[in-house]
Structures are given as C-alpha cells and as structure tokens.
Amino acid sequence: MNKLYLLVAILPLCGCLATTGPTIVNHDVIVQVPCNVTLPEKPVYPLTDTGSVNDNIFVKSKKALSEIEARKAYEAELEAAATTCTKK
C-alpha cells in the first residue's frame, strides 16, 4: 500500500520533468515582387552603316573592333538589368 502512495506521488513529478521548452522554427518565404527595370537603349553599331561599303580593310577592321567593344558594353548593361530582378 505504501508503494502505491509513493507511485501516485512520483508520477506527476515525472510528467513535469519530461516537458521541454518551446521550440522556435523559422520559415523562409519567397515573396514575389514586380520587377521594374529599364532596359538600356540599343546602340548604333559601326558596321551597320551602309555607306562603308567602299572603305578599305583597315577602316573596316577598326569599325569591327569598335563594334565588338560596343556589343560587350551593351551585353554587360543587359546582364546587369536582368540580374537585378533575379537576386536571391
């Protein structure tokens, strides 16, 4: 009988020891935001000039090199505009 009283007295205490504190859970939620980016204007490339048909090879090669640099700059501006909306 004494063991029964002891068991009844200890069981509620065991229940209090088993509980843990609250756990904090963080959830990352992706929120869609409209992207308002102005695209750069397309430049006028030197080789698209139709009046340069009679130019010599040296003038055409200079124009070709300047067109390559203009295209690289334009592509860099486009990539910068495109990545502003896709940043994580």
pLDDT, mean of each 10-residue run, the chain (88 residues): 70 64 86 82 81 80 91 93 74
Residue 59 in domain: yes
For position 71, what pLDDT does the model report?
A: 94
Residue 17 in domain: no
For position 52, what pLDDT does the model report?
A: 67
Q: How far is CA 55 from CA 11, 21, 51, 62, 78, in A?
A: 100, 82, 8, 11, 31
Residue 18 in domain: no
Residue 24 in domain: no
Find the domain containing 66 and state its range: 37-88
Structural domain count of the chain: 1
For position 46, what pLDDT does the model report?
A: 81
Residue 86: DSSP 8-state? S
Question: Can you read off the two tokens belonging to residue 62?
Answer: 């200079």
Residue 31 in domain: no
Residue 9 in domain: no
Separation of alpha carbons 11 and 8, rounded Å? 6
Residue 12 in domain: no
Residue 18: DSSP 8-state? H
